[in-house]
């Protein structure tokens, strides 16, 4: 079992490079299943546990997977199964993309229901609604989803909630359906656009990704392609927030500044300086921040995945901040851990009220989920004294070399194997 040990209280200086986007990569890797001709070569793949998990699942289905550095080559023409009944399926959320990909290519899929971070009820009813609208029959037996279709026929789907997963999953299946599919009230996140661009590189005909109406004209087959994954919006946001909270000057490279606008706007409101130049953002801060209110919303609103890291800097901001977590019902498990470090936070349902304190003090804490872990790293870097973070396997699911990147910025952080 590894833990992170942080000796905090130091400003951050220097520059780091952001890796490929987790939530794009975890959809693009399963989407390679849909190529019946030629291999997919995908660059800027983050070597994180969630991606490794998908590599194992694809290998178990017979795909040939080879990763060198951050480039992965996947040959799915040789796939020999549509049953993804492995333990790995329950270790992550994005395993549900196996359903859309297998259904699209083979008209059937048998997969174990997905797992992922414990942040509240995470139904897949909108995914199922889309598959059924395309003509599939969906059965849930115990913890297994069985989907079959004689033929997928293009249709209109109006999503009842804005869902990243449902938008991507139904888009995958519709890509190889007969006729045109219109997805309304679609998610607009950058990774939805990235997956659509990837599918178009494979020969799909998808227009409108990034707006709430996506139009997919089904094609007969998809082929291999070369592709590069977009930079990770949330990893970039995590480093920007850390720089603002610790103080110092940090250049965050290999980003798309447009994707960071909601985080940038809040940091400026708090008194930090954010400069955008080409593919970089620089965050300058003296560590003395003003309280602000946050409401998480689908893109382009403030991302729920940055809510917990943001709360780690609001706890030392001057004044009272209110966080309204509108996406997930229980994404507040980090609060008890922050309180161990001296934070003053009251939680009622999805609302957290934070009274800024002068300083945080190092403590022994647990990463209850991925972004809770990121929040605790930021808090540990801000706090005086030593912070020990356990259960960091959650962090490894979604951040590549996070402690090494913080060390480049001058942080005193190390991984210790117990």
Give the active site residues: 117
Contact between 165 and ligand EPU by CB under 6 A: the answer reads: yes
Residue 61, number of CB atoms within 10 A of its CB: 21
Contact between 259 and ligand EPU by CB under 6 A: the answer reads: no
As to burial, measured by CB atoms within 10 angstroms (0-12 exposed, 13-18 middle, 19+ buried), residue 297 is middle
Task: Give CA separation, 248 vs 11, 244, 273, 410, in Å.
Answer: 5, 7, 11, 10
As a whole number of angstroms, the distance between CA 102 and CA 145 comes to 12
User: From the CB of 370, what's the least distance to ligand EPU, in Å?
Assistant: 5
Site for ligand EPU in 197-236 (CB under 6 A): none
Q: Report the residue number, 166 or 274, with the smaller CB distance to ligand EPU.
A: 166
Site string for ligand EPU, 382-411 (x = CB under 6 A): ----------------x-------------
Q: Report the residue number, 297 or 357, with the smaller CB distance to ligand EPU.
A: 297
User: From the CB of 97, what's the least distance to ligand EPU, in Å?
Assistant: 8
Name the strands in the sheet holding 83-84, side by side, starting at the edge strand that comes first in the sequence: 83-84, 108-112, 144-148, 137-141
User: From the CB of 26, what's the least distance to ligand EPU, in Å?
Assistant: 5
Contact between 285 and ligand EPU by CB under 6 A: the answer reads: no
Which residue in the set 26, 51, 111, 260 belongs to the binding site for ligand EPU (CB under 6 A)? Answer: 26
Q: Which long-range contacts (CB under 8 A, 24 or more apart) does 259-266 make?
A: 259/190, 259/230, 259/231, 259/233, 260/233, 260/236, 261/300, 262/300, 262/301, 262/302, 262/303, 263/237, 263/302, 263/303, 263/306, 263/310, 264/240, 266/292, 266/294, 266/302, 266/310
CB under 6 A: which stretch of 11-19, 74-82, 116-124, 340-348 binds ligand EPU? 116-124
Distance spanning both ends of the chain, measured CA to CA = 6
Which runs of E-coded beta strand occur in 204-291? 205-207, 213-217, 222-223, 226-228, 248-253, 273-277, 280-285
Q: Report the residue number, 65 or 192, with the smaller CB distance to ligand EPU.
A: 192
Site for ligand EPU in 328-357 (CB under 6 A): 328
Which two tokens mark 193? 């656009």
User: From the CB of 58, what's the least distance to ligand EPU, in Å?
Assistant: 16
Contact between 12 and ligand EPU by CB under 6 A: the answer reads: no
The answer to whether 307 and 291 have CB atoms below 8 angstroms apart is: no
The answer to whether 313 and 244 have CB atoms below 8 angstroms apart is: yes
Which residue in the set 33, 72, 74, 124 belongs to the binding site for ligand EPU (CB under 6 A)? Answer: 124
Q: Report the residue number, 244 or 367, with the smaller CB distance to ligand EPU.
A: 367
State phi, psi for 338 to the nearest 5 degrees.
-65, -35
Contact between 122 and ligand EPU by CB under 6 A: the answer reads: yes
Which residue in the set 370, 376, 383, 413 belongs to the binding site for ligand EPU (CB under 6 A)? Answer: 370
User: From the CB of 74, what's the least distance to ligand EPU, in Å?
Assistant: 18
Residues ≥6 apart with Cβ < 8 Å to 412:
6, 7, 8, 10
Contact between 237 and ligand EPU by CB under 6 A: the answer reads: no
Q: Report the residue number, 192 or 251, with the smaller CB distance to ligand EPU.
A: 192
Q: Which residue is nearest to ligand EPU (CB)?
A: 165
Contact between 164 and ligand EPU by CB under 6 A: the answer reads: yes
Which residue in the set 4, 166, 255, 365 belongs to the binding site for ligand EPU (CB under 6 A)? Answer: 166
Q: Which residues pair with 281 in a beta bridge?
A: 252, 276
Q: Which residues pair with 209 in a beta bridge?
A: 211
Which residue in the set 327, 381, 383, 402 belongs to the binding site for ligand EPU (CB under 6 A)? Answer: 327
Q: Which of 145, 152, 187 is nearest to 173 (CA)?
A: 152
CB under 6 A: which stretch of 60-68, 75-83, 115-123, 332-340 binds ligand EPU? 115-123
Which residue in the set 161, 213, 265, 275 belongs to the binding site for ligand EPU (CB under 6 A)? Answer: 161
Site for ligand EPU in 173-202 (CB under 6 A): 187, 189
C-alpha torsion sign, points 191, 197, 203, 205: positive
Q: Give the footprint of ligand EPU on this chain (CB under 6 A).
A: 22-23, 26, 93-94, 117, 122-127, 161, 163-166, 187, 189, 304-305, 327-328, 370-371, 398
């Amino acid at each position: 079992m590894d833990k992170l040990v942080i000796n905090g209280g130091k400003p951050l200086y220097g520059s780091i490079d952001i890796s490929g986007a987790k939530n794009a990569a975890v959809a693009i890797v399963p989407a390679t299943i849909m190529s019946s001709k030629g291999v997919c070569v995908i660059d800027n793949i983050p070597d994180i546990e969630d991606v490794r998990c998908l590599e194992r699942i694809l290998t178990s289905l017979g795909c040939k997977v080879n990763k060198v550095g951050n480039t992965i080559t996947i040959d799915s023409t040789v796939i020999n199964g549509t049953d993804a009944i492995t333990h790995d399926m329950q270790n992550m959320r994005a395993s549900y993309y196996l359903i859309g990909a297998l259904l699209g290519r083979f008209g059937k899929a048998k997969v174990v229901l997905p797992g992922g971070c414990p942040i509240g009820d995470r139904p897949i009813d909108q995914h199922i609604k889309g598959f059924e609208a395309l003509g599939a029959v969906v059965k849930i037996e115990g913890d297994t989803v069985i989907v079959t279709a004689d033929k997928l026929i293009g249709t209109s789907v109006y999503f009842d909630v804005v869902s990243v997963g449902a938008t991507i999953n139904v888009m995958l299946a519709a890509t190889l359906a007969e006729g045109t599919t219109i997805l309304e009230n679609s998610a607009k996140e950058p990774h939805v656009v990235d997956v659509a661009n990837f599918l178009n590189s494979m020969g799909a005909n998808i227009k409108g990704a990034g707006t709430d109406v996506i139009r997919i004209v089904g094609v007969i087959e998809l082929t291999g392609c070369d592709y590069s994954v977009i930079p990770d919006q949330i990893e970039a946001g995590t480093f920007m927030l850390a720089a603002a909270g610790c103080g110092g000057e940090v250049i965050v490279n290999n980003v798309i500044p447009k994707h960071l606008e909601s985080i940038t706007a809040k940091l400026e409101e708090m008194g930090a300086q954010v400069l955008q130049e080409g593919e970089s953002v620089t965050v300058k801060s003296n560590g003395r921040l003003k309280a602000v209110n946050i409401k998480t919303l689908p893109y382009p609103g403030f991302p729920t995945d940055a809510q917990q890291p943001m709360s780690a800097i609001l706890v030392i901001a001057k004044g009272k901040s209110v966080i309204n977590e509108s996406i997930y019902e229980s994404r507040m498990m980090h609060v008890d851990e922050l309180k161990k470090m001296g934070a003053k936070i009251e939680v009622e349902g999805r609302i957290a009220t934070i009274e800024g304190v002068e300083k945080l003090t190092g403590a022994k804490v647990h990463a209850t989920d991925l972004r809770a872990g990121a929040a605790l790293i930021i808090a540990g870097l801000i706090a005086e004294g030593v912070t020990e973070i356990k259960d960091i396997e959650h962090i490894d699911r979604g951040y590549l070399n996070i402690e090494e990147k913080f060390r480049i910025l001058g942080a005193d952080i190390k991984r210790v194997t117990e």
